[in-house]
A and B are shown apart, each in its own frame.
Chain A
Amino acid sequence: MARTRLRALPLIAAALVAFAFAGQAAAQKSAKDVVLKFTYKQNGASDPLEKWLKDKKIIEQFEAANPGVKVQLAPIPSTEGDYATLLALQLSSVKTAPDIFMEDTYMTATDAASGYLACLDPYLAGWSDWAKYLDGTKAAVKGTDGKSYGVPISTDSRGLWYSYEVLQAAGVKTPWQPKSWEEILDTARKIKKHDASVAPIYLIVGAVNGEGVTMQTFDMLLYGTGDTMYENGKWLVKSKGILDTFRFIDAVYNKEKLSVGLDVALAKDSGSQVYAKMFPKAKAGIGLGVCTTSGNWVPTGPAPIADVEKVFGFAAMPTQLGGKPATVNLCGGWSWAISQYSKEKDLAFKFIAFCGNKENATARSLYDGRMSPRSDSISIDEYAKRPFIKEMVANMANSFVRPKNESYAMVSTQVQAIVEELASGSLTPEQAMAQYQARITNIVGKDKTFEK
Chain B
Amino acid sequence: MSNHGHRGNNATALTLILPAIALLGFFFVWPIVLSCYFSLTDMTLSGSRAVRYHFVGFENFKHLFADPLFRTSCANTLIFLALSAIIGQLALGFIVALIMRGKRRWFRSAVGITVIAGWITPEVIVAICWVAFLSREGSVNAMLMGAGILEGPISWLISFPMASVVFANIWHGTAFSMIQFQAALDSIPTSVEEAAEIDGASGFRRLWGITIPMVKGTIMTDSILITLKTLGVFGLIYAMTGGGPGTKTTTLSVYMYKQAFSSYQMGYGTAIALVLLLLGVILSLCYMRVSKTPL
Q: A interface vs B, CB < 8 Å?
A: 3, 6-7, 10, 81, 85, 88-89, 91-92, 107, 110-111, 113-116, 206-208, 261-263, 266, 406-407, 409-410, 413-414, 417, 420-427, 435, 438, 442-443
Mostly, the A contact residues are helix
Q: Are B248 and A262 in contact (CB under 8 A)?
A: no
Q: Is B112 an interface residue (CB 8 A)?
A: no
CA–CA, A208 and B244, complex, Å: 10
Chain A residues with Cβ below 8 Å from B242 are 207-208, 266
Q: Is B287 an interface residue (CB 8 A)?
A: no
Q: Are A409 and B47 in contact (CB under 8 A)?
A: yes
| Given A420-B246, A426-B247, A435-B68: A410 in contact with B48 (beta carbons within 8 A) | no
Q: Is B206 an interface residue (CB 8 A)?
A: no
Q: Is B121 an interface residue (CB 8 A)?
A: no
Q: Are B247 and A114 in contact (CB under 8 A)?
A: no
Q: Mark B165-204, 1 if CB is under 8 A from A, else 0.
A: 0000000000000000000000000000000000000000
With A92-B45, A115-B51 given, name 18 new contacts (CB 8 A).
A6-B12, A81-B262, A85-B264, A88-B46, A89-B45, A111-B46, A111-B47, A207-B244, A261-B155, A406-B47, A407-B47, A417-B263, A420-B246, A424-B244, A424-B245, A424-B246, A442-B268, A443-B263
Interface size class of chain B, counting residues whose CB lies under 8 Å from the partner chain:
35 or more
Chain A residues with Cβ below 8 Å from B248 are 424, 426
CA–CA, A261 and B245, complex, Å: 12
Q: Mark B224-259, 1 if CB is under 8 A from A, else 0.
A: 000000000000000000101111100000000010
**Shortest Cβ distance from A446 into chain B, in angstroms?**
12
CA–CA, A207 and B244, complex, Å: 9
CA–CA, A111 and B48, complex, Å: 8
**Shortest Cβ distance from A297 into chain B, in angstroms?**
24
Q: Are B155 and A116 in contact (CB under 8 A)?
A: no
Q: Are A113 and B48 in contact (CB under 8 A)?
A: yes
CA–CA, A3 and B8, complex, Å: 9
- CB<8 Å pairs between A and B, sample of 24: A6-B15, A7-B12, A7-B15, A85-B262, A88-B45, A91-B46, A114-B44, A114-B46, A114-B48, A114-B49, A114-B50, A115-B51, A207-B262, A262-B158, A263-B135, A406-B48, A409-B46, A409-B47, A409-B264, A410-B265, A421-B246, A427-B246, A442-B67, A443-B263
Q: Are B246 and A88 in contact (CB under 8 A)?
A: no
Q: Are A417 and B155 in contact (CB under 8 A)?
A: no
Query: Nearest CB to that of B12 among chain A residues?
Result: A3
| Given A115-B51, A409-B46, A410-B44: A88 in contact with B244 (beta carbons within 8 A) | no
Q: B interface vs A, CB < 8 Å?
A: 8, 12, 15-16, 18-19, 44-51, 63, 67-69, 135-136, 155, 157-158, 242, 244-248, 258, 261-265, 268
Q: Are A417 and B47 in contact (CB under 8 A)?
A: no
Top 7 closest pairs, chain A to chain B, by CB = A426-B246, A424-B245, A263-B155, A421-B246, A424-B246, A114-B50, A113-B48
Query: Nearest CB to that of B161 among chain A residues?
Result: A424
Among A10, A81, A413, A435, the residue within 8 A (CB) of B19 is A10
CA–CA, A382 and B67, complex, Å: 53
Query: Nearest CB to that of A431 among chain B residues?
Result: B68
CA–CA, A266 and B159, complex, Å: 12
CA–CA, A426 and B248, complex, Å: 8
CA–CA, A435 and B247, complex, Å: 13
CA–CA, A226 and B100, complex, Å: 69
CA–CA, A81 and B242, complex, Å: 12
CA–CA, A410 and B266, complex, Å: 11
Q: Are B47 and A85 in contact (CB under 8 A)?
A: no
Q: Are B245 and A114 in contact (CB under 8 A)?
A: no
**Shortest Cβ distance from B119 into chain A, in angstroms?**
27
Chain A residues with Cβ below 8 Å from B135 are 263
**Shortest Cβ distance from A169 into chain B, in angstroms?**
23
Among A3, A107, A208, A420, the residue within 8 A (CB) of B46 is A107
- Most chain B CB within a 10 A radius of its CB, from A7, A81, A423, A443: A443
- Most chain B CB within a 10 A radius of its CB, from A3, A407, A417: A417
Q: Are B264 and A88 in contact (CB under 8 A)?
A: yes
Chain B residues with Cβ below 8 Å from A413 are 258, 262-264
Chain A residues with Cβ below 8 Å from B155 are 261-263
- Most chain B CB within a 10 A radius of its CB, from A261, A263, A423: A263
Q: Are A425 and B47 in contact (CB under 8 A)?
A: no
Chain A residues with Cβ below 8 Å from B136 are 263
- Most chain A CB within a 10 A radius of its CB, from B46, B136, B258: B46
Q: Are A443 and B47 in contact (CB under 8 A)?
A: no
Chain B residues with Cβ below 8 Å from A111 are 46-47
Chain A residues with Cβ below 8 Å from B48 are 113-114, 406
**Shortest Cβ distance from B26 into chain A, in angstroms?**
14
**Shortest Cβ distance from A263 into chain B, in angstroms?**
4
Q: Are B264 and A6 in contact (CB under 8 A)?
A: no
Among A113, A266, A407, A442, the residue within 8 A (CB) of B244 is A266
Chain B residues with Cβ below 8 Å from A424 are 158, 244-246, 248
**Shortest Cβ distance from A254 into chain B, in angstroms?**
11
Among B46, B63, B67, B68, the residue within 8 A (CB) of A110 is B46
CA–CA, A414 and B19, complex, Å: 44
Among A92, A107, A262, A407, the residue within 8 A (CB) of B245 is A262
CA–CA, A107 and B264, complex, Å: 12
Chain B residues with Cβ below 8 Å from A116 are 46, 50
Chain B residues with Cβ below 8 Å from A107 are 46
Query: Nearest CB to that of B154 among chain A residues?
Result: A263
Q: Are B245 and A85 in contact (CB under 8 A)?
A: no
Q: Are B47 and A421 in contact (CB under 8 A)?
A: no
CA–CA, A84 and B112, complex, Å: 44
Q: Are B258 and A417 in contact (CB under 8 A)?
A: yes
| Given A85-B262, A208-B242, A413-B263: A421 in contact with B247 (beta carbons within 8 A) | yes
Q: Are A114 and B263 in contact (CB under 8 A)?
A: no
